[in-house]
Structure 1
Amino acid sequence: MVLLPSRPPLFLLFLASLLLLSSTARAHMIELAAGKKECFFEDLHAEDKMTVTYQVGGGGHLDIDFWLKDPNSKIIYNQHRNPTGTFTFTSAIDGRYQYCFSNEMSTVSPKTVSFNVHGVIYVPDDGQTAPIEREIRALADSLQDVKDEQEYIVVRERVHRNTAESTNSRVKYWSIFQGAALMLVCAWQVYYLKAFFEVKRVI
C-alpha cells in the first residue's frame, strides 16, 4: 500500500507560485550619442507593477536625463542629470507606457547607460493563497533587488576602474613632461652659467 502525501510537494508550490507571479526581467546596455535620446515602451495592464533601474557607466559627467510617461503622455516620473536611479510604479490604466533616456544636454560626450526593467503581472489574491506562496513572492522581489544591486556594483566598479586608468595615464604623461622640463631647465642653467663666467677678450 502506497501512502500519498496529503499536501503537494514544496517544489510544486514553488513552481505554481512562480507561474502566478509572472515576473519578467530584462537587462540592457545602450550607447547614447551627444544630443540624442532613446525611448522604450512597455504594454501594461492596470495594477501591473514595473521597476526601472539605470546606471551611467561612462561618458562626460556620468549623468543622464530620464522620464516615464503613461499612455496619455503624462509624465509620471522625471529625473535630470543623475548618474543612477530607480523607479517603481503600479500602472493605473491599461496601455503603452514610455520611458526615455536623454543625452540632449551634452554637445560632445556620448554616454553608456546600463538599465534593467522588471515587472510583476498583477494576480488578485482571493484569500486562498497559501502563506508559502506569499513568502515566495516576497523572496522573488528580494532576489530581484539583490540582482539590481549586484549589477549596480558591477557598473560602479567599471566606472572606478576607468577613472583609475585615466588618472594613471595622466600621472604618467605629467611625469614625462616634468622630466623633460627639468632636463631643459638644467641645460639652460648650465649654458647660462657657462656664458656668465666666460672671460671675453678683446683683440
Structure 2
Amino acid sequence: MARIISLITLLLCTLIVLTWPDITEGTALTYNVAAHEKACFYAWVDKAYEKVSFYFAVQSGGSFDIDYTVTDPRDKLVINGDRERQGDFVFTANFVGEYSFCFANDMSTFAEKIVDFEITIENEPRAELPPSKGVTPEQTSNMEESLIRLSGSLSTIARSQKYFRTRENRNFSTVKSTENRIFWFALLESTLIVGMAALQVFVVRTFFSTTKRGNV
C-alpha cells in the first residue's frame, strides 16, 4: 500500500512539473547597448491584473549605470530610473496589451553597456490537477503549496546567482581597467625616465664641449 501511495505521489509531482510552465512565462536576455542608443523590448500581457516581474543588471561598461523606462499599452509610465546599476521590480499589469521595457545609454559618449535582464509574466490562476484515487484533496493542496515554496526558493537562488555573477563581472571589469591604467602609467613613467636620462646626457656633453672650447 505504501508503494502505491508513493507511486501516486511521484505521478502527481510529475504532472505538476509538466503543467508548471503554463503558469509562468519569462524571457532572459543579454544585450549590448551602444553609446547614445535606446533599446526597447516588449512583452504581451493576455489578461488584466497579471503579475509582471522585471529584473536587470549592468554587467560591464562605463560606471555600470543605465536609464530605464517601463510603459503600459497606453504609453503611460509604469516605472523608470536614471543611472541605475540594477533593479528588481514586480508590478501588476492593469491592462491587456504590449508593455515596453526600454534602456537608454544617452549619458555615455563612447562606452557600451552590457545589460542582463529578465521579463517574467506570471498568471494568477494555478494549474489544476486531475483527481487521483487514493489521494485526498488536502494532500494534493499540501503538495502544491510545497512546490510553490520550492519554486520561490529556486527563484531566490537564481536571483542570488545573478547577483554574484553581476558582482563578478563588475569586479573583473574594474581589475581589467586598473591593469590598463597601471600599464599606461608604467609606460609613461619609463618614457619619462628615458627622456630625462637622454636630457642629462645631452646637458653633460654640452657642458664639457663648452668647457673644452673655453680652455682652447
Q: TM-score range by the shorter chain?
A: 0.7 to 0.9
Q: State the shift of 1:190 in Å.
A: 3.9
Residues 17 and 137, structure 1, Cα contact 8 Å, conserved in 2: no
What are the within-5 Å matches in structure 2 for residues 1-203 of structure 1? 4-5=4-5, 8-10=8-10, 12-13=12-13, 15-16=15-16, 19=19, 22-44=23-45, 45-123=47-125, 130-193=141-204, 195-196=206-207, 198-201=211-214, 203=216
Q: CA 1:116–1:13 in 2, change beyond 3 Å: closer, same or farther?
A: same
The root-mean-square deviation of aligned C-alpha atoms, in Å, is: 3.0
Identity of aligned residues (%): 29
Q: Please, which moves more after superposition, 111-120 or 16-25? A: 16-25
Distance apart, 1:78 and its partner CA: 0.9
C-alpha offsets along residues 53-105 of structure 1, whole Å, 9 cap, x if unaligned?
Answer: 11112222221111111222211111111111111112223222221111233
In the TM superposition, what whole-angstrom CA distance separates every residue of 1:146-184 from its partner, at most 9, and x where no partner exists?
212212322331222122122112212211221221122
TM-superposed deviation, 1:6? 9.2
- TM-score (normalizing by structure 1): 0.83
Separation of aligned partners in 2, 1:118 and 1:3: 38
Distance 1:32 1:4, change over 3 A: closer
The total of aligned residue pairs comes to: 203
SS of the residue 1:66 aligns to: strand
* Residues 73-82 or 121-130, more deviating: 121-130
Deviation string 1:7-42 (CA, Å, 9 cap, x unpaired) is: 931452363266257123321011222222121222
How far 1:195 sits from its partner (Å)?
4.1
The answer to whether the 8 Å contact 1:116/1:148 transfers is no
The structure whose residues are more often helix, as a share, is 2
C-alpha change, 1:73 and 1:138, in structure 2 (3 Å) is farther
- Structure 1: which 5+ residue stretches go unaligned? none
**In 2: Cα distance, 1:5 partner to 1:190 partner:** 94
